[in-house]
Amino acid sequence: MGRPDVLLVSLGSTAGLRAADEALVSSLRTAGADVEVVRAAAQSDVRTLMATDWRWARAARSAAQAGLTEHDPGAVVYSTTTAALWWPRPGAIRYDAPAAANRPGRHGLWQRPLEHRRMREAPLLIPMTQGTLDETPSPHAPTCIVPIPVTPSPDAGADRDVAALTYAANPEKKGLNRVLAAWSQARRPGEELVVAGLDGSHTAAVPAEGVRYAGRLAPDAYRTLLRRARVYVTAPRREDYGIAQLEALADGAQLITTLAPGPYAALPLARALDARLVGDDLAGALRIALDDPAPRYAERAADAIASFLIPAVDAVVAGDLLPLLMDKQ
């Protein structure tokens, strides 16, 4: 076997990160690159972000060392800044948000200064959005923005018979309490909010009329449910990317969201599509979306996410990212 063009060091600490890594590998291979992937060993939960990052950074270093020894790649891409913190060899860093922004105060005491050093030493940074780059401390390496792609699910022609949907696998981060409070205020008889990613036994699952907890769903089942929803509502404390919101737009649901800080890729799109649905008044936005939806919302949303679709991302990877990776070997 020949020397691969790229070794991807995947942290893979969440399902979302694993899916994002698979998408990047697919785009690189579509562009003609020979790509090998090594993954950090899964780590058990610990109490603090400092300890969590320390464990995952150590696991990523071990995976990277093994991959470098076995494959001797032309270029290395570390997926997330955590994966790059203790790198055995400099490489490009792919990330949705820097620790400088999402590890405030004591949560990032050791991560932030080391991250900034790595971002200066890296041959290339691969932020996922312009918002990601805006949060990146300077000075830093050259950059190439590459989004996580989103794919519209097949339209089976189902009626939009679900009034509202939210995803709350991490209920505190996604602001489920604010969504439930708004729904309680806005709901009318016969309307239902479906909460995906959480079952009724979770401590955050507050029983209420017109609320159904769907639990964890397979991706296809979730997207089928999304295709039936008139509204996708969320109130994140902070959003580092927000793939669920992009999927909602891809599947034609109106996006209601708070003005969460962070790179939040879908936020400017939501504002442009219907500014009435963006802000702190979730209850008011719910009634607007259900009673007075903006004309052609789904069609305009499909146009708005064009740069996040696989063909557009593949073009960026082939035309911009891969040449930069090869140039900086």
d(CA 107, CA 49): 6
pLDDT in tens, 208-254: 999 999 999 999 999 999 999 999 999 999 999 999 999 999 999 99
Task: Among 2-6, 12-16, 73-77, name the most confident range.
Answer: 73-77
Amino acid at 23: A
User: Which pLDDT value is given to residue 204?
Assistant: 86
| Long-range contacts at 65-69 (CB < 8 A, ≥ 24 apart) | 66/38, 67/7, 67/9, 67/36, 67/38, 68/7
User: Which pLDDT value is given to residue 138?
Assistant: 96
Tell me how crowded residue 176 is: count the other CB atoms within 10 A of its CB: 25
Phi then psi for residue 176, to 5 deg, are: -60, -35
pLDDT greater than 90 at residue 2? no
d(CA 181, CA 91): 45
Q: At what angle do helices 176-186 and 282-291 cross, to 10 degrees?
A: 50
- In this prediction the pTM is 0.93
Pairing of strands 193-196, 162-167: parallel
pLDDT in tens, 76-132: 999 999 999 999 999 999 999 999 999 999 999 999 999 999 999 999 999 999 999
User: Which pLDDT value is given to residue 1?
Assistant: 57
d(CA 321, CA 141): 14
**Could you tell me the two tokens for 222?**
């979730």
Q: What mean pLDDT is reported for the chain?
A: 95
